[in-house]
């Protein structure tokens, strides 16, 4: 019997080599066990915590990610600008300038012809990279039928994320926040059926400051002196994300499960995944 639901995994910001390892570990062991049909992950911190290289893009796609989204660190790695590199499964904030490489929204078709649109937008509160209004640009994509629509809203302010979810309530399947690297405990189905989570969290080093080495962050914050944010190569990992069960007919989320797990270094690097 065909499944009535599509199971989508959304992973929060992937930070550095430990974050990439966490994603690879989880998908290697659990993608099939959890019957996950489609994987979305925010990859804007995948390369040393800032941007994503083509090599690391390929690493994550080969690990089992189907669509990568981005955010305010998009231009901190310039591989997007090189014609020889094909980032076909990655999108960037839709409200960047129209001349920016890549698309801000894309439709992916599963083997059973189920269509999933993934859109990425960047917030305007405390961030200064939005060329266009994310509310209007996302609303313009909501008149499609027979499409599951999941939005990654990469934004700083919790209120702005909630306002967008209410603005799109009933018009998209889910609005999930990224950027702050801290998973929030407010996952819910809104009045008209849209799933909302203020922030999916991060995939990176557990004993860190938002995925970066603690000492550098402490020095910069305490002294206001310049310090380079860096990521460790090995360490215990934190897995953050959410699994959504979405009805194929209504395009609504019927159930969800937050992922918030610590993966010890010994397990994470066992058998050199």
CB atoms within 10 A of CB 243: 17
CB atoms within 10 A of CB 162: 17
Name the residue among 122, 189, 193, 113 with its Cα closest to residue 151: 122
**Residue 246 and residue 6 in contact, taking contact as beta carbons nearer than 8 Å:** yes
Q: d(Cα 210, Cα 201) in Å, to the nearest integer? A: 9
Catalytic positions: 73
Q: Identify how many contiguous H helices and E strands the chain contains and give both numbers.
A: 6, 13
pTM, two decimal places? 0.96
**Residue 51 and residue 44 in contact, taking contact as beta carbons nearer than 8 Å:** yes
**Residue 48 and residue 263 in contact, taking contact as beta carbons nearer than 8 Å:** no
**Residue 26 and residue 57 in contact, taking contact as beta carbons nearer than 8 Å:** no
CB atoms within 10 A of CB 48: 19
In order along its 273 residues, the chain shows pLDDT tens digits of 357 999 999 999 999 999 999 999 999 999 999 999 999 999 999 999 999 999 999 999 999 999 999 999 999 888 988 888 999 999 999 999 999 999 999 999 999 999 999 999 999 999 989 999 999 999 999 989 899 999 999 999 999 999 999 999 999 999 999 999 999 999 999 999 999 999 999 999 999 999 999 999 999 999 999 888 899 999 999 999 999 999 999 999 999 999 999 999 999 988 655
Q: d(Cα 175, Cα 140) in Å, to the nearest integer? A: 15
Q: Which residues of 168-179 are buried (b: 16+ CB within 10 A; e: fewer)?
A: bbebbbbbbbbb
Strands 188-189 and 195-197: antiparallel
Cα-based torsion angle of the residue sequence 127, 130, 132, 138 in order, rounded to the nearest 10 degrees: -80
């Amino acid at each position: 019997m065909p499944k009535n639901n599509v199971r989508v995994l959304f992973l929060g910001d992937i930070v550095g080599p430990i974050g990439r390892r966490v994603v690879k570990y989880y998908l290697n062991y659990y993608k099939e066990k959890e019957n996950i049909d489609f994987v979305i992950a925010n990859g804007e911190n995948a390369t040393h915590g800032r941007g994503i290289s083509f090599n690391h893009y390929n690493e994550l796609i080969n690990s089992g990610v189907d669509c990568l989204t981005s955010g305010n660190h998009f231009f901190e790695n310039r591989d997007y600008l090189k014609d020889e590199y094909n980032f076909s499964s990655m999108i960037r904030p839709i409200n960047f300038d129209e001349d920016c490489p890549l698309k801000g929204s894309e439709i992916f078709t599963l083997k059973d012809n189920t269509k999933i649109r993934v859109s990425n937008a960047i917030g305007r509160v405390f961030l200064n990279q939005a060329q266009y209004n994310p509310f209007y640009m996302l609303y313009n994509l909501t008149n499609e039928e027979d499409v599951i629509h999941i939005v990654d809203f990469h934004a700083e302010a919790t209120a702005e994320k909630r306002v967008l979810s209410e603005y799109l309530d009933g018009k998209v399947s889910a609005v999930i926040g990224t950027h702050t690297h801290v998973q929030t405990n407010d996952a819910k189905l809104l009045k008209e059926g849209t799933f909302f989570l203020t922030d999916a969290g991060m995939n990176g080093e557990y004993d860190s400051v938002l995925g970066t080495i603690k000492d550098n962050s402490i020095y910069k914050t305490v002294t206001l002196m310049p310090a380079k944010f860096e990521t460790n190569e090995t360490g215990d990992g934190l897995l953050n994300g959410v699994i959504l069960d979405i009805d194929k007919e209504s395009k609504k989320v019927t159930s969800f499960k937050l992922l918030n797990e610590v993966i010890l270094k010994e397990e994470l690097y066992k058998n050199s995944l």
